[in-house]
Amino acid sequence: MSEAVAGAIEALKEKLDGTDIEETVKFDIEDEGTILVQNGEVAAGDGDAEVTISASLDTFREIFDGELSPTAAYMSGRMAIEGDMGVAMKLSQVLG
């Protein structure tokens, strides 16, 4: 696992702590790897998910640091979403 993915896992754990995200979400970090959020656990890995969110490492960092809203990232084309948009919107409220 790359250092970038490890850092993203820790950032996601902090953001998702105490939330009610029960769905399976995959974060695809371009050229770095994937993170799977499943059953309240955040870990490096791949698999089926209700929604897949893809972006560059820099875009995810800006979102996790609060410098960029997930909605702005999506609307500007810096982030792609495949799957259940309802889950993505729910996640946007947690991350943004």
Long-range contacts of 83-92 (CB under 8 A, 24+ apart): 83/49, 83/50, 83/51, 83/52, 84/23, 84/50, 84/51, 85/51, 87/23, 87/25, 87/50, 87/51, 88/51, 88/53, 90/21, 90/23, 91/21, 91/25, 91/51, 91/53
pLDDT of residue 81: 96
Where do the structural domains in the chain lie, given as residue ranges? 3-91
pLDDT of residue 40: 79
Select 3-91's CATH number: 3.40.1190.20, 3.30.1050.10, 3.90.1300.10, 1.10.287.130: 3.30.1050.10
- For 4-63, the pLDDT digits (tens) are 889 889 988 888 888 878 899 999 999 999 999 998 789 999 999 999 999 999 999 899
Q: Please tell me the pTM assigned to this model.
A: 0.90
CA 26 from centre of chain: 7
